[in-house]
Amino acid sequence: MKPISLADLGQFKKDKHKFATITAYDASFAQLFYEQGIQIMLVGDSLGMTIQGESSTLPVTVEQIAYHTRCVRKGAPDAFIISDMPFMSYATPEQACHNAAILMQAGANMVKIEGGSWLCETVKMLGERSVPVCGHLGLTPQAVNVLGGYKVQGRDEVTANQLVKDAIALENAGMQLLVLECVPSSLAAHVSEELLLPVIGIGAGAQTDGQILVMQDALGITARPPKFAKNFLAPAGNIHDAIHMYIREVEEGIYPDESHSFS
């Protein structure tokens, strides 16, 4: 496979070609995922919970994300790697630029930040300095203490309208990719139609342009998986076939179905 670019992702959206992405934290799994056909991986701050055993993503540091980014890059040299900006690492545009540089130099192709239109100045400044930005709206895990837990977002008209406004504002500021987490399928479909950029869903129904799963959820390792997760390892029997099944079901619109979505 040739290295994938943001232009390729934009073409996927134009062609209505759904694509699968997954979290990765080390060289071995990054290599396996890439060899099975996953070209886009997220070095997520979910590693705080999945790797470190923390109760949230908040303790994760920039240095830890950079370390895992380097590991993933070694395992999948040609992958498109998105690296999470951890909690409070982008509180100001200047701080965001400093920390984004660390992650880009570690091997990231793009950084991901959580939040709405208050981040427009940050997105613009990063873009002007050659740092592509992926946004993250809906359930934003770094805001768990404000949200009062890991709850579905955008179920009422006010919050749904605000999410749409935030998405449009961020795209206008230069955001080039968006993750929507734990929102009603109808809202995710509307956002995906409104934006020119590709939208990746997790617990956001099947109408987004792509899907992402935490690797431990996709492989049935998580003790209490979220509703939107599917264990692909159980029916497949081995990890290689599980990843193939995940990719195929995303591309064919089989996953996620209604049982893995929110109304």
Classify each residue of 208-228 as buried b or exposed e, where b means 16 or more C-beta atoms within 10 Å of its C-beta.
Answer: bbbbbbbbbbbbeebeebbeb
| CA quadruple 9, 64, 85, 244: dihedral sign | positive
CB neighbours of 133 closer than 8 A, spacing ≥ 6? 110, 111, 112, 113, 122, 123, 126, 127, 174, 175, 176, 177
Q: Please, what are the domains in the chain?
A: 6-260 (3.20.20.60)
Half-sphere exposure of 113 (CA within 13 A, CB side): 32
Beta strands in the chain (DSSP E): 19-23, 40-43, 80-84, 110-114, 133-138, 177-181, 199-202, 210-213
The whole-angstrom separation of Cα 136 and Cα 229 is 18
Other CB atoms closer than 10 Å to residue 85's CB: what's the count?
A: 27
- Residue 263: predicted pLDDT: 87
Is 181 marked active-site?
yes
- Residue 36: predicted pLDDT: 97
- Tens digits of residue pLDDT in 161-188: 999 999 999 999 999 999 999 999 999 9
- Residue 149: predicted pLDDT: 84
- Residue 150: predicted pLDDT: 87
Other CB atoms closer than 10 Å to residue 68's CB: what's the count?
A: 25
Catalytic residue among 114, 171, 181, 249: 181
- Residue 153: predicted pLDDT: 94
Tokens of 138: 């809906």
- The ranges of the chain with pLDDT < 70 are none
